[in-house]
A and B are shown apart, each in its own frame.
Chain A
Amino acid sequence: MTELRMPKTFADEMVEHCIHGKPQEACGLLAARDGRVVQVFRMTNASASPVRYSLDPKEQFAVYEKIESEGWELGGVFHSHTHTEAYPSPTDVRMASEDVPYVIVSLAQEPPSIRAFRIVKQNWMDSEGSIEEIAVSIEG
């Protein structure tokens, strides 16, 4: 995937969730069909931290079930950086586990910025990997 297409309403919803989550990081999942976001899932940051996030496994499971039942695909994982740029931190790389775009919403400036990356690892448990930016196309 070289581009993540996202209707503006979903981009706005994602940013709103991130702003609402301050001062903690916020996180969520994106469902997509053919590379186009069709739903934003606002998730609980189980880490409840300004510098870490983790999805609650039970919530994550429920969303995966929904995505499966709708015939969608997991379109991405998003989270906020409250004070740093929209670029994967070493922790983001170390913890990356899904082979989908990782979308980062930076609240460090106004307006917030949205960028997406694929984190490529030989093995998902590796602590290091390469970072490839994916274009985010906000539609409408």
Chain B
Amino acid sequence: MAVQVRIPTVFRKFTDGNPSVELEPGTIADLVDQLEARYPGMREQLLTSEGQLHRFVNVYVNDEDARYLEKLDTKVADGDTVSLLPSVAGG
């Protein structure tokens, strides 16, 4: 068992095209660290320079928006699915 992280198209150039990756359980912040270790450059895609989730990135843990949980401190367990979603907008 592991945590499955779904990667949106925009970040797949970092993940060698993989649409999902498996990581160890922890908090979302831990997952970001694991992503950065495996795919350098991912952290700055997800976090602001102040270390907060970028406002244009939505993170879902299973079917819950992490913003309404504990944000980066949200705990993610074996078997959970984390989905990264870029906000889609324009004019």
Contact = CB atoms under 8 A, between A and B. Distances in A.
Given A57-B65, A64-B85, A125-B56, A89 B90 contact: yes
Question: Interface residues of A: mostly helix, strand, loop or mixed?
Answer: mixed
A79 interface: yes
Contacts of A91: 90-91
A102 B65 CA distance: 25
Given A60-B85, A61-B83, A125 B90 contact: no
Interface residues of A, number: 34
Contacts of A139: none
A121 to B, nearest CB: 9
| B: interface residue count bin | 20 to 34
B6 A98 contact: no
A88 B45 CA distance: 23
The 7 closest A-B pairs by CB, nearest first: A91-B91, A97-B86, A54-B89, A92-B90, A99-B9, A55-B88, A52-B91
A79 B10 contact: no
Interface string A87-105: 0110110011111101000
Given A97-B56, A125-B56, A53 B90 contact: yes
B80 to A, nearest CB: 14
Given A57-B65, A61-B60, 7 more contacts: A54-B89, A55-B88, A95-B87, A95-B90, A98-B9, A98-B86, A102-B90
A96 B87 CA distance: 9
